[in-house]
């Protein structure tokens, strides 16, 4: 599924009273626009991003974006109204896009999990919007200050972005907007075009910066954490190899004295293979066979620590870093206790993290099945990655 994100950043932000558009104001570590763009460029399921800005800001929109991701970014000029700007952005969306997300640049703290939820709901239902259920009693008030109605709060939701749409649904909504229908967002246009828009759980931290007080709060948040709130993702890995005579037993980059070693195309390091699958899986990048297939002669007898190091680089390129890794090796013999600490060191170096974030444990299979008979070795891994 090809997902494109449109970042709406053409507004003037006059309510903030700043000398320049609010989305260009620095909140620490970059402007609101830069943080919003990075959130989508760094998301593993978002293929490309279209930024819509006022005509005089097209160059500034690319400032601070990592060169390795700049090719996935397009900048287009905005229109007079928000819906005009989004229409301009939609015109620049790749023909192969299946789902299009729309996000306000003034929400710089959008999380990867919220992006995931919106993509899934848009793909399933055609149109979706992140929103928070009201926690307060809601009153309808007349112009003279009188309460005219109490609205059941369980029916009231406060809209956020991102909003997500299947391509055909958004095309119909934008076409309706071009016909003269006014709307505050594309979800409203989709509703008026006859589509059902589904709500996904929003995020209280996904605040919109509108006033000077909001700006102060955003800067304080960045100052206290050094970056927007991080989101974590978990992945699991598994590997099994037969044990044969005449092969070295290499685990976590360490050669363990043994009369048998693992049989495989590379060095058959089950620890590194399981760890590689775990970190790739956490970011939705498939498994080791997808990136380093055993049909490719380049990986014949390859050092699996090199493969793990490359997988860690791919994870970083997608906006994440490895938080911690836990590996369990299941092997009847030999015992691996003397190799555990060197393994932790090698794995940590390959991942670019501190050694205390890596755990390696050894277990036996109590004589059961091929592992218990000493014919095979297994490794399980669990990894947590977090947004950078």
* CATH number of the domain bearing residue 288: 3.30.1330.50
Domain that holds residue 200: 3-225
Give residue-wise pLDDT tens across range 155-212.
Answer: 899 999 999 999 999 999 999 999 989 998 999 999 999 999 999 999 888 999 988 8
Query: Are 147 and 40 in a shared domain?
Result: yes
SS (H, E, C) the chain: CCEEEEEEECCCCHHHCCCCCHHHCECCCCEHHHHHHHHHHCCCCCCEEEEEECHHHCCHHHCCCCHHHHCCEEEEECCCCHHHHHHHHHHCCCCCCCEEEEEECCCCCCCHHHHHHHHHHHHHHCEEEEEEECCCCEEEECCCCCEEEEECHHHCEEEEEEEEEEHHHHHHHHHHHHCCCCCCCHHHHHHHCCCCCEEEECCCCCCCCCCHHHHHHHHHHHHHHCCCCCCEEEEEEEEEEEEECCCCEEECCEEECCCCEECCCCCCCHHHHHHHHHHHHHCCCCCHHHHCCCCCHHHCCCCHHHHHHHHHHHHHHCCEEEEEEEEEEECCCCCCHHHHHHHHHHHHHHHCCCHHHEEEEEECCCCCHHHHCCCEEEEEEEEEEEEC
Predicted confidence at residue 276, as pLDDT, reads: 97
Q: Tokens for 143, please give them.
A: 């112009």
- Are 124 and 258 part of one and the same domain? no
- Tens of pLDDT, residue by residue over 329-365, are 999 999 999 999 999 999 999 999 889 999 999 999 9
The percent of residues above 70 in pLDDT, for the chain, comes to 92
- Answer yes or no: do 209 and 241 share one domain: no
Read off the pLDDT band of 15 (50, 70, 90): low
pLDDT of residue 247: 95
Domain termination residue (choose one: 163, 195, 225): 225
Q: Does residue 79 contact residue 11 with C-beta atoms inside 8 Å?
A: no
Q: Is the pLDDT of residue 61 over 60?
A: no
183 and 241 belong to one structural domain: no
**Same domain, residue pair 7 and 143:** yes
Residues 207 and 254 in one domain: no
| In a shared domain, residues 16 and 137 | yes
CATH code at position 48? 3.90.550.10
Check whether residue 194 and residue 341 sit in a common domain.
Answer: no
Question: According to the model, what pLDDT value does residue 298 have?
Answer: 85
Is 214 in the same domain as 122? yes
Q: Are residues 68 and 202 in the same domain?
A: yes
One domain for residues 209 and 240: no
Question: Of 173, 194, 225, which residue constitutes the final position of a domain?
Answer: 225
Average pLDDT over residues 104-126: 94
* 314 compared with 128, residue with greater pLDDT: 128
Instruction: Report whether pLDDT(230) > 90.
Output: no
Same domain? For 168 and 264 the reply is no
Count of domains forming the chain: 2
Where a domain ends, among 199, 225, 251?
225
């Amino acid at each position: 599924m090809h997902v494109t994100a449109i970042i709406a950043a053409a507004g003037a932000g006059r309510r903030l009273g700043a000398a320049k558009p609010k989305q260009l104001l620095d909140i620490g570590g970059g402007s609101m626009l830069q943080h919003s763009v990075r959130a989508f460029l760094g998301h593993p399921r978002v293929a490309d991003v279209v930024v819509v800005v006022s005509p005089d800001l097209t160059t500034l929109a690319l400032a601070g974006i990592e060169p390795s991701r700049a090719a996935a970014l397009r900048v287009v000029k905005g229109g007079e109204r928000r819906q005009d700007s989004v229409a301009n952005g939609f015109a620049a969306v790749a023909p192969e896009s299946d789902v299009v997300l729309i996000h306000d640049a003034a929400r710089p703290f959008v999380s990867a999990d919220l992006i995931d939820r919106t993509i899934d709901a848009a793909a399933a239902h055609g149109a979706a919007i992140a929103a928070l259920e009201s926690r307060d009693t809601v009153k309808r008030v007349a112009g003279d200050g009188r309460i005219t109605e109490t609205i059941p709060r369980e029916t009231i939701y406060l809209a956020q972005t991102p909003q997500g749409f299947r391509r055909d649904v958004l095309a119909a909504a934008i076409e309706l907007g071009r016909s003269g229908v006014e709307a505050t967002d594309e979800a409203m246009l989709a509703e008026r075009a006859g589509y059902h828009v589904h709500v996904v759980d929003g995020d209280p931290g996904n605040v919109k910066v509108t006033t000077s007080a909001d700006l102060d709060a955003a800067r304080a948040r960045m100052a206290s954490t050094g970056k927007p709130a991080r989101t974590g993702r978990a992945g699991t890995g598994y590997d099994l190899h037969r044990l044969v005579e005449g092969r070295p037993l290499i685990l976590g980059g360490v050669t363990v004295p043994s009369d048998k070693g693992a049989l495989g195309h590379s060095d058959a390091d089950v620890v590194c293979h399981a760890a590689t699958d775990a970190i790739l899986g956490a970011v939705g990048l498939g498994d080791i066979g997808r990136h380093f297939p055993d049909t490719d002669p380049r990986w014949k007898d390859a050092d699996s620590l090199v493969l793990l190091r490359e997988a860690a680089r791919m994870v970083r390129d997608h906006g994440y870093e490895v938080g911690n890794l836990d590996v369990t090796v299941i092997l009847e013999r030999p015992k691996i206790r003397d190799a555990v600490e060197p393994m932790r060191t090698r794995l940590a170096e390959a991942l670019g993290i501190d050694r205390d974030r890596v755990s390696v444990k050894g277990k036996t299979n109590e004589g059961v099945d091929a592992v218990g008979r000493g014919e095979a070795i297994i490794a399980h891994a669990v990894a947590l990655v977090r947004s950078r």
